[in-house]
Amino acid sequence: MGFNIGIDIGGTFTDCFVTGDSGLILACKTPTTHYDLSVGFMKGMRELARLSGKPLDVFLSETDSVRYSTTVGTNAVIERTGPKLGLITTAGFEDTIFLGRARNWADGVSMAEMRDQARIRKPEPLIQPDMVVGIRERMDSAGQVLMPLSREDVLEKVQALVDRGAMGFVVSLLWSFMNPEHEHMVKEIIEEEYPEDYLGSLPVVLSSDVSAKSGEYPRTMTAIVNAYIHGVMADEINKLSNELRDSGFKRPITLVHNTGGTKKASRTRAVLTHNAGPVAGMYGAAFQGRSTGDQNIVFTDMGGTSFDIGVIANGEMKSHDFIPVIDRWRTNIPAVEVKSIGAGGGSIAWINKLMGNALEVGPQSAGSMPGPACYDQGGAEPTVTDADLVLGFYNPDNYLGGKMLLDPDLAAEVIEKKIARPLGLSVAEAAWRIRRLVDAQMGQETFNEVALKGHDPRIFSLYACGGAGAAHACDFAGYIGIKRIVAPFSSSVYGAFGASIMKIKEVWERSRSLKIFQWARQKYLDDIESFNRPVRELKELAIRDLRLEGYDERQIKFTLELDMRYGSQYNLTKVTSPRLEIASADDFRELCELFMARYAEIYSAEAGFPQGGVNIEGFFLTAEVMTEDPRLPVEKSAPATPESQAHKGKRAVFWEPKEGYVDTDIYDWTALHPGNMIAGPAIIESPQTTFVIPKGWQFSMDTFRNGILERTDVAVAKQPERIGSLS
C-alpha cells in the first residue's frame, strides 16, 4: 500500500490530505489559484512531498491514487464559459427547456431573491432557442415505436445546427428512458457524418445515457449540463494529468463523485462532479463516526466561500437529493443530499439599504483573490474572517500555523468604513454583529436540514469541519439544540480527507412505475419479473462498467434503493430494499411495510395514505468495490500532561458587547493530549484551524486527537434574535 492523496479545490483554499502505511497522515492548505487551478494543485503536491520527506518524483511514484474533487465544471455553468451546443429533441417539444417547470424561476436562488418578485428572472438558457431542433420520431410511454426515425430528417437538422456554430450535440427524445433506440440511432448518424478522424467531429451526449429517468425537463437539463461542462473538465483533467505524469505519477487521476464514491476520470460523467467536495466530507464523517461510535451526525463544513450541511442517520448517507439543482438548473442526478449556503470566512458583510439599512452577510464572497481585507491582497470588503480577527478570535501572527500573516488594522479599517460608521456602531460591536448574524444563518439552515427531514437534532453529534468550523461551531450549535460537537483532527481539510479514503462506487438508476400494493383489491403485485428485470439490467451495467475499471464481480457490494410513494401523491420517499430480487408477494409486503415506516418517520403516521396503494417509481442500484479501510492514527493512552503545558498566554477577546474585550486563555493544540480538558472561555490554536470555546462549553481531546466540545450549562438552544437579515 502506497500513498492515497485527496484533493479538494474550494473557492478560497485548495485542501490536500494523504493517508499511507501505518496510519501515516499528512495535510496542507494552499490558496486556490482561479486563473489556473493546476498552479495551486501542484503547489499542494510539492508541500505534501516536503512533509513526507521525499522528493516530489519519489513521493508521486509511491502514490497509489490521486482522488480529486473540483468545482471547475460548476464554475463553467455559473460563468457561462462552456461550448455552444445544439439540442436535438422530439418535434413539438423544442420549447421544453425554456418553459421549464412552474417553479423554474426559483430553482437555485436564495430565499431573499425569491421574495424580490420585482427583480427575479428565469435563468439565461445554456442553449439558445435557435440551437434547438425537433426531429420527426415518437415513442409511447411503454417504449413502443409510434413513428420511426427519419435519417434524412436527422441529417438535415444536424447540418442546420452545425451551420449555426454547434460545438457538440445533446439528444433528448421523448420517453427515451423507456427505450433509447432512437437516441442511439441519432448518435450513430452524427458519428457517421462527422467521424472522429474529421476535424469537424463533435461530441454527442444522450439523455438516456446520462439520466435514464422520467421527467422531460430535468432529464434534458441533466444531459445539457453534462455536455456543457464536459469539455471544460476534460481540458482541466488532461492538464493536471500531464503535470502529474511529468512529476512522476504514472496512474490515472480518480474523480470524486457526488454519489459518494470515486471513479477513473476517463469513466466519469462530468455532471457527477458537481458538489463532490462536500459529499467527500460527509463520507469522511460517516467513516470517522464508525470509529468513534457516532451513528447520527450533522455534518457541517464552514470554509472560505460556503457553508455545507449534510445528515448521516444510523451511520449511513442514505438519501439522495430529491431535486438536485446545479446553478439554476433542476437535474436528475442521484447525488447525496448536501445543502450549501453562501456563509463562510470570506462571506462579505454589507448593508442592505432597500431593507432599511439591515446588515447582511453573504452570499457574495471575497474568495482567495483578493480575499478578506486582512489578507492584504487588495480586498476592500469586510468579511467574516475580518470580523473574527477584530474580535480577537484569530492570532494575526499564527494563521495557518504562521504561513499566512493577517493585518488586523486593515480588517478594522474596512469594517469601520463599510459597517460601523453607517450603522453608528463601534468597530468591535459591528464585528460582533457580523459574527452573530452569520452564526444565526448557519444555525437556522442546519436546524431546517435536520428537523424538517424527520430527525431530532438533540440526539445528533455536530461535526464541525472546514477551516472556520471550529471557530464558529459552539455559537451556531445553540440554534440547533445540539450539545455535543466533534471537530475532527483533519477538520480544516475534511473534504480532502474524505476523498483520500473513498471507495470506487457509482449509482445506476432507472425509472419504472410499479403498483406493488393495490388497496381496493388488498392484493400485492404478482408479476415479480417486473421488479427483478430492471434490477438485473442495472446489475449487468454495473458489473460491465467496473470490470473495465479492473475489478471482479466478487469484489462488488450491491445496494438497492427504491423511490416509493403512496398512489396519487407526488413526493417520493427513498427506501433501502432488504434484497436485490423479489421471490414472492411476501417480499412486496415487506417492502410496503418498510416504506410506510419510513414515511411515518418523516411525515408522521397520521400522514399515511394506504388507500392510494403503494407504488415504486424508480430503482437505484449502488455498486461499491469493497477494499480495506485505512487505519486512523490512535494516540496511545497515557496520563494526560497538565493543560498548563499547552498554555500560551492570554489575548483580549470580544465575547459580548456588555463585557467588551476580556483577557482570554490561549492554548497550543499541538501540545495537548487525549484526556486534557479545557473549560471556556478559551481559544485553542492549531496549525490549520482555531477552536473558539465560549463560556458554558468544555473542550476535551479523544485518542484520535479529535476535539470534543460539550455543553456544560443548562441552556441548550437559543432563539435566533433579530440582529440583521437571516435570509
Residue 723 has pLDDT above 60, yes or no: no
Q: What percent of the chain has pLDDT over 70?
A: 95
Distance set, CA 341 to CA 298, 325, 344, 438, 445 (Å): 15, 13, 9, 11, 8
Contact between 291 and 306 (Cβ < 8 Å): no
Contact between 70 and 233 (Cβ < 8 Å): yes
Residue 153 has pLDDT above 50, yes or no: yes
Residue 678 has pLDDT above 90, yes or no: yes
Q: Is 41 helix (H, G, I), strand (E, B) or coil?
A: helix
State mean pLDDT over 448-460: 85
d(CA 60, CA 65): 9
Residues 517-568 pLDDT 10s: 988 888 989 889 999 999 999 999 999 888 887 788 888 999 999 999 998 8
| 472 φ, ψ (degrees, to nearest 5) | -120, -10
pLDDT of residue 717: 45
d(CA 261, CA 38): 23
**Which DSSP helix (H) or strand (E) runs through 439?**
helix 427-451
The ranges assigned to domains in the chain are 80-233, 505-625
**Which region holds residue 106: left if phi is over 0, alpha if psi is between -120 and 50, else beta?**
alpha
Q: Is 539 helix (H, G, I), strand (E, B) or coil?
A: helix
Contact between 292 and 486 (Cβ < 8 Å): yes
The DSSP string of 225-259 is HHHHHHHHHHHHHHHHHHHHHHTT--S--EEEPTT
Contact between 665 and 683 (Cβ < 8 Å): yes
d(CA 500, CA 280): 9
pLDDT of residue 487: 92
Of residues 673 and 637, which shows the higher confidence score?
673
**Three-class DSSP labels, 79-144:** HCCCCCCEEEEECCCCCHHHHCCCCHHHCCCCHHHHHCCCCCCCCCCCCCHHHEEEECCEECCCCC
| 284 φ, ψ (degrees, to nearest 5) | -60, -40
Residues 237-263 pLDDT 10s: 888 888 899 998 988 888 998 888 888
pLDDT of residue 190: 92
Which of 127, 15, 5 lies closest to 495, judged by CA? 15
Distance set, CA 504 to CA 67, 267, 288, 392, 557 (Å): 10, 11, 18, 44, 11
Contact between 37 and 273 (Cβ < 8 Å): no
State mean pLDDT over 113-127: 81
Q: Which range, of 30-44, 624-638, 698-712, averages the lowest pLDDT? A: 624-638
Residues 532, 620, 548: CA angle, nearest 5 degrees: 90
- Letter string b/e over residues 476-513, b meaning 16 or more CB atoms within 10 A of that residue's CB: bbbbbbbbebbbbbbbbbbbbbbbbbbebbbbbbbbbe
Residue partners of 159: CB distance under 8 A and separation at least 6: none
Which of 12, 17, 5 lies closest to 33, judged by CA? 12
Residues 378-420 pLDDT 10s: 889 999 999 999 999 999 988 877 778 889 999 999 999 999 9
Residues 155-184 pLDDT 10s: 999 999 999 999 999 999 999 999 999 999
pLDDT of residue 722: 37
Residue 694, beta-bridge partner list: none
Which of 702, 679, 703 lies closest to 691, judged by CA? 679
Q: At what angle do helices 384-391 and 408-415 cross, to 10 degrees?
A: 110
456 band by pLDDT with thresholds 50, 70 and 90: confident
Q: DSSP state, 328? A: T
**Which region holds residue 204: left if phi is over 0, alpha if psi is between -120 and 50, else beta?**
beta
What CATH code is assigned to 505-625?
A: 3.30.1490
- Quick one: cell of 254? 480518480
pLDDT of residue 637: 60
In this prediction the pTM is 0.84
Please report which residue ranges of 515-653 form alpha helices under DSSP H: 529-548, 585-603
Q: Which range, of 81-85, 107-111, 332-336, 453-457, averages the lowest pLDDT? A: 107-111
- Amino acid letter, 626: M
